Chains A and B, each alone.
Chain A
């Protein structure tokens, strides 16, 4: 009997503490406000006093949620994001979830809702699982955009897409044009024959070269499929070299394919050169302008620029310059003007970063440790 009474008393005390501790929101809030805001963004040293004075411009808080901590690619995105927000005097919050899961990202989103941030930019760990949390954020008046990897279109305003099909196709065909010297045979080493993004890029390359007399001298001899397996990609590369003795360039728009082909070409000392889309960390030893290296330059996206674009997009959304509708346009600082385009399935809008970033002998050392 005594124990039951004690249990009830303990529970009551706990409930009371919860209620009493949390209920009084109004009075104590303003006093405590300044301290945590500074703790929240240690890097935000620029003019904290103005912020307190000018609630309109500076008081906005822009948050970025990455996929996981310790991910160098995400760190670079965060770096770009922070740079832009700091420059315009806003408060920047960069949060990494405790694990690379949607569940962990939800905890961060919920916390940011409590803090009443102005915008959230997020690299989603799952396309569907964040819907409910992002909807709650949107209901609380928070502007939401995604970058790097998207969520279902109706739970965000827009998506900062690092890889526009047209831009990738153009960059690749121009590289082939440059490396062949304007005419000659080239082959494409792709992933699988069903890979959506690969096929879109390859179709885009074909369409551009057919539509412009400039590329008339180029001859695409074969599209080979290495299925994104290192061994099969190696075999396919060797087969291409045997079948086409006059081959000048191999273009591999896949990170697995380009790494495998680079090794084959470099080991054999082949005169065929390579370009495509590759990871700097995997490709660093093959990139060089001389004959000892198989790949003069290649492409991928620049995560810093993607972070900066996400920051400008967040600012534009918060200021009301854009709403996320297709056709909206805004100026992203020194990155120029951007227009929101429709997704292929018509479900929402996206902003394409621009042409992919070129990795060449000059910058590869800086990037190989990044991703």
Chain B
């Protein structure tokens, strides 16, 4: 199961000790190391502070689950940042025009779902096109529509911000979005690792043609995954609104790359058929907690990005080095 990336991650169950030595096990250790690092470099690295700062990043983790599905399929979706922008913009405009909060919230998720369906439609109708290019196109289209809706000012504010702020509330020190991440996590991890639907994704990601001959409705499954990601992007936009009270032309910018980075760091291969969402979830928390820690010592924000980029490269390299040192029997 080593494959190109060489990381020992798969949906197939293994024995106890190999599990501890797996990528997820290593991620847990890295996570603990990040927490210890945070505690040692910043006196302000307390549970309350970390959770409060984390709130800003949590909506992105919603999308990580959907992106995980897409990557396991061997596809990619780089339009999610623009979907977030479009959902947030149109929801604001609708709410300001008098649409009640509940309806506006549903609208937000619905718009995201529709955008995801459009991606899915294009990806399944034009299978010869790389999904990177298709979603690059929709990325530009969605943001273009959002910018047109925003008009010349390039910014819209949510007038009844009291309504939307409900979503930013906390239960104890935990923001609502934290619980949503946990719930979504349980559901999505279970779906991917313990259902036939999940197994189909790995099958498609490993070999589309073989999956097709095995009777898997490949295109329908892909369409569904894009739709799920779109829905999660809508949900992300909704929670983003609860913090931003509005949208502008830069809303959601770069989210797609952050979300993909979480997945890849978590061991989900962009080539498909490999990795799982537990890794993605732990990786997401590693990245967020590290950012918060380095932010608290006022490290240059660009340097923080460099560090996270370097971590990503190293995470991809480690298994390669390991493979080179310990060659497997059946290497081609």
Give A residues with C-beta under 8 Å from B. 2-4, 6-7, 10-11, 13-14, 17-19, 21-23, 25, 28-30, 32-33, 35-36, 39-41, 69, 93, 95-104, 106-108, 110-111, 113-116, 125-129, 131-133, 136, 152
21 contacts between A and B (CB under 8 A): A3-B193, A4-B194, A7-B189, A11-B278, A14-B285, A18-B50, A21-B39, A22-B35, A22-B50, A36-B42, A36-B43, A36-B297, A98-B304, A101-B250, A110-B52, A111-B296, A111-B298, A126-B246, A128-B245, A131-B245, A132-B242
Our pick among B165, B247, B292 for the contact of A111 (Cβ within 8 Å) is B292
Beyond contacts A36-B41, A107-B53, A114-B49: 14 other A-B pairs, Cβ-Cβ < 8 A, are A6-B16, A6-B19, A13-B28, A18-B47, A18-B289, A21-B35, A21-B36, A95-B301, A98-B301, A114-B42, A114-B44, A115-B44, A128-B155, A128-B244
* Given A95-B301, A102-B250, A29:B278 Cβ within 8 A: no
Within 8 A of A (CB), among B38-59: 38-47, 49-50, 52-53, 55-56
Chain A residues with Cβ below 8 Å from B251 are: 101, 103
8 closest Cβ pairs, A-B complex? A21-B35, A22-B47, A128-B157, A114-B49, A111-B295, A98-B301, A101-B250, A29-B43
- How far is A13 from B253 in the complex, measured between Cα atoms in Å? 33
Chain B residues with Cβ below 8 Å from A111 are: 53, 292, 295-296, 298
* Given A114-B296, A115-B44, A17:B31 Cβ within 8 A: yes
A132 touches B43 (CB 8 A): no
Our pick among A7, A19, A100 for the contact of B278 (Cβ within 8 Å) is A7
Q: How far is the CB of B15 from chain A (nearest CB, A)?
A: 9
Give B residues with C-beta under 8 Å from A. 13, 16, 19, 24-25, 28, 31-32, 35-36, 38-47, 49-50, 52-53, 55-56, 155, 157-158, 161, 165, 168, 189, 193-194, 242-248, 250-251, 253-254, 278, 282, 285, 289, 291-292, 295-298, 300-302, 304-305
Closest to B244 in A: A129
Chain B residues with Cβ below 8 Å from A40 are: 297-298
B44 touches A110 (CB 8 A): no
Closest to B19 in A: A6
Chain A residues with Cβ below 8 Å from B32 are: 17, 21
Our pick among A3, A36, A98 for the contact of B305 (Cβ within 8 Å) is A98
Grouping DSSP codes into helix (H, G, I), strand (E, B) and loop, the A interface class, with mixed when no group exceeds half, is helix
B193 touches A93 (CB 8 A): no
Closest to A129 in B: B244
- How far is A99 from B248 in the complex, measured between Cα atoms in Å? 14
- How far is A196 from B244 in the complex, measured between Cα atoms in Å? 27
- How far is A17 from B302 in the complex, measured between Cα atoms in Å? 28
Closest to A40 in B: B298
A116 touches B248 (CB 8 A): no
Chain B residues with Cβ below 8 Å from A129 are: 155, 157, 244-248
Select the residue from A108, A113, A114, A136 with max chain B CB neighbours within 10 A: A114
Q: How far is the CB of B183 from chain A (nearest CB, A)?
A: 13
Q: How far is the CB of B34 from chain A (nearest CB, A)?
A: 9
Closest to B159 in A: A128
Closest to B277 in A: A7
* Given A96-B300, A99-B253, A28:B243 Cβ within 8 A: no
Chain A residues with Cβ below 8 Å from B278 are: 7, 10-11
* Given A36-B297, A39-B297, A103:B53 Cβ within 8 A: no
Chain A residues with Cβ below 8 Å from B282 are: 10, 14
Chain A residues with Cβ below 8 Å from B254 are: 99
* Given A3-B193, A14-B282, A19-B47, A103:B250 Cβ within 8 A: yes
- How far is A126 from B154 in the complex, measured between Cα atoms in Å? 10
Closest to A1 in B: B13
A39 touches B161 (CB 8 A): no
Closest to B153 in A: A127
Closest to A63 in B: B298
- How far is A103 from B84 in the complex, measured between Cα atoms in Å? 13
B56 touches A115 (CB 8 A): no
- How far is A92 from B296 in the complex, measured between Cα atoms in Å? 14
Chain B residues with Cβ below 8 Å from A96 are: 300-302
Q: How far is the CB of A312 from chain B (nearest CB, A)?
A: 22
Our pick among B246, B297, B300 for the contact of A128 (Cβ within 8 Å) is B246
- How far is A4 from B278 in the complex, measured between Cα atoms in Å? 11
- How far is A278 from B328 in the complex, measured between Cα atoms in Å? 68
Chain A residues with Cβ below 8 Å from B38 are: 21-22
Chain B residues with Cβ below 8 Å from A14 are: 28, 31, 282, 285
Chain B residues with Cβ below 8 Å from A133 are: 243
